A and B are shown apart, each in its own frame.
Chain A
Amino acid sequence: MAALTVPTHRRPPAIYRAARALRVVSAIVLVLLILYAGTVAYSAIEVARSSVQSHSLSASFASNGTVEIAGSFTLSNPGLYPIDKVALTALIANGEGVFLGRLAVGPNDIAPSSTGVFPFAIYLPVSVSAAESLLTVDQTLGVNAWGNATYAYLFPLSISLVENRSWGAPFEGFRATVRTPTGGGGTLLVPVLVTFSNHANSPDQGTLAFVIESSGGIVCGSGSFPINDAAGALYDQTENVAVSAGCSLTGGHLLTTYSSGGSTVPLPPEAIP
């Protein structure tokens, strides 16, 4: 019986098969990486177009003798990849370089096609001598900020920012002066003049209380001014205070405090000539 010959495909050698398999893997990896890089570039451009926006910045006096600057900023992520571990830290110093406060935000993640909202609050201790001038002197604050994030899983980003921000004092040029007393007998009327300009962004609304102290530390008289001074407005008011004729004002002090919303901050004392 004749032999039956069946032609068949020959199998490639093992080394060749291994090389071919690796080339397929390599081609798949390359295509995936190109697609990934392309979409990352597109998404990054979209994120860059939607810039960071700051909202609702407000300043108020806190109960612990600080000025609280609160606000929020939003960062949109219209891209295809998440922005992970978004964190921001900022140090604030006054015009003389003295550290005033620290801001820390995050870390938070921003999912693709969403917007991250980052509330923040900075507390500037105006009752401390280093920061006391923030109440009464316009100045330039140094802001040293840095932040970190990871974009699209593989790209760590960091940003550092050194910036000067102008600070408008809520009691710029504050002066509390004692004018020449009038009257006679056992009681004198002492005119107390308070002037300042509100250079802050928010109105001064509260009470300005003052105490007239003699050189020996004895309280000679006291009074208060209701304050409702709009942002940018000048305040100039005088109040007559009854003072005992035996109380020596010369060499004394005029001590002033500002109370608003349950918090009280001292203003710089004024010497009475």
Chain B
Amino acid sequence: MSGSGKVVVPRQETGGYQIPSLGYRILVAALRLIPAFFLLVALPVAALTFVDSRGIALPISVFAVEGWGFLLLGLGTAQYISKPTRAYGPLMVVTSLLGLLYLFYALTLSPYRFVIPGGSASISAGYSMFLELVMIVPAIGIIVGLLITAEDARAPKERLPFDFPA
């Protein structure tokens, strides 16, 4: 560690860390819910309702969108709240896995075929390539979750100073 005339660089933390209280984490998680709710539930349901009001058959039921959306929102919120704990990594894996399954489910419904009301024309719109790109996000989430799980198993709490710097 030390010696005459030498500069010693100790391996120590920089000021430690401060984990937010459970109440604060719940509050932040609730705030994060707002944009997530719009993205996962409100916008898709609004789009489906608009299409349904025009008499066009829906590619996916509103109930399914709401069910998957609220499930992912709940898991995402639990994941955020559990960030200081060892459950964070596994919860991220589960959330991302369910997100991936949701996208696979939507992928099986592509292409979306519908008949224009009052006419003899039908339109088919494929979106599988777009969904395959979106799948990158939960796929990375699974990898990240596995890495964090491995990190927490190898050295519990080692990541906390970096996740919650003081």
A residues near B (Cβ < 8 Å) are: 1, 3-10, 12-13, 15-16, 18-20, 22-23, 25-26, 29-30, 33-34, 37, 154-163
Q: Knowing A29-B137, A155-B125, A159-B122 touch, does A3 contact B8 (C-beta < 8 A)?
A: yes
Q: Is the CB of B121 within 8 A of A159?
A: yes
Q: Is the CB of B121 within 8 A of A161?
A: yes
Chain A contacts of B13 at CB under 8 A? 10
Q: Knowing A9-B14, A13-B159, A16-B159 touch, does A161 contact B144 (C-beta < 8 A)?
A: no
Q: Is the CB of B162 within 8 A of A5?
A: no
Question: How far, in Å, is A240 (CB) from chain B's closest CB?
Answer: 52
Interface string of B1-45 (1 = CB under 8 A from A): 111111111111110000000000000000000000001000000
Closest to A38 in B: B43
Interface string of B119-136 (1 = CB under 8 A from A): 111111111011001101
Closest to A20 in B: B162
Chain A contacts of B144 at CB under 8 A? 19, 22-23, 26
The 4 closest A-B pairs by CB, nearest first: A3-B2, A26-B140, A19-B147, A156-B126
Chain B contacts of A158 at CB under 8 A? 111, 123-124
Q: Is the CB of B8 within 8 A of A160?
A: no
Residue B148 interfacial (CB < 8 Å): yes
Complexed CA–CA distance, A159 and B155 (Å): 58
Assuming A4-B7, A15-B150, A158-B111, what are 18 further A-B pairs, CB within 8 angstroms? A4-B8, A7-B14, A8-B10, A8-B14, A10-B161, A13-B158, A15-B147, A15-B151, A16-B147, A16-B159, A19-B147, A20-B162, A30-B137, A155-B126, A155-B129, A156-B125, A162-B121, A163-B121
Closest to B11 in A: A10
Which residue among B1, B144, B155 has the maximum number of chain A CB atoms within 10 Å of its CB? B144
Complexed CA–CA distance, A116 and B19 (Å): 59
Complexed CA–CA distance, A177 and B146 (Å): 92
Q: Knowing A10-B11, A155-B130, A160-B122 touch, does A19 contact B137 (C-beta < 8 A)?
A: no
Question: How far, in Å, is A53 (CB) from chain B's closest CB?
Answer: 16
Chain A contacts of B151 at CB under 8 A? 13, 15-16, 19
Q: Which of B7, B111, B133 contacts A156 (CB 8 A)?
A: B111
Residue B143 interfacial (CB < 8 Å): yes
Complexed CA–CA distance, A19 and B152 (Å): 12
Q: Which of A5, A19, A159 contacts B124 (CB 8 A)?
A: A159
Question: How far, in Å, is A151 (CB) from chain B's closest CB?
Answer: 8
Complexed CA–CA distance, A22 and B148 (Å): 11
Q: Is the CB of B162 within 8 A of A12?
A: yes
Q: Is the CB of A1 within 8 A of B4?
A: yes
Q: Is the CB of A157 within 8 A of B14?
A: no
Chain A contacts of B9 at CB under 8 A? 6, 8
What are 7 A-B pairs with beta-carbon distances under 8 A? A3-B3, A16-B148, A29-B133, A33-B130, A159-B123, A160-B122, A162-B121
Complexed CA–CA distance, A18 and B12 (Å): 21
Complexed CA–CA distance, A212 and B161 (Å): 107
Question: How far, in Å, is A41 (CB) from chain B's closest CB?
Answer: 8
Residue B141 interfacial (CB < 8 Å): yes
Chain A contacts of B122 at CB under 8 A? 159-161
Complexed CA–CA distance, A123 and B133 (Å): 45
Q: Knowing A13-B158, A16-B159, A155-B126 touch, does A26 contact B136 (C-beta < 8 A)?
A: yes
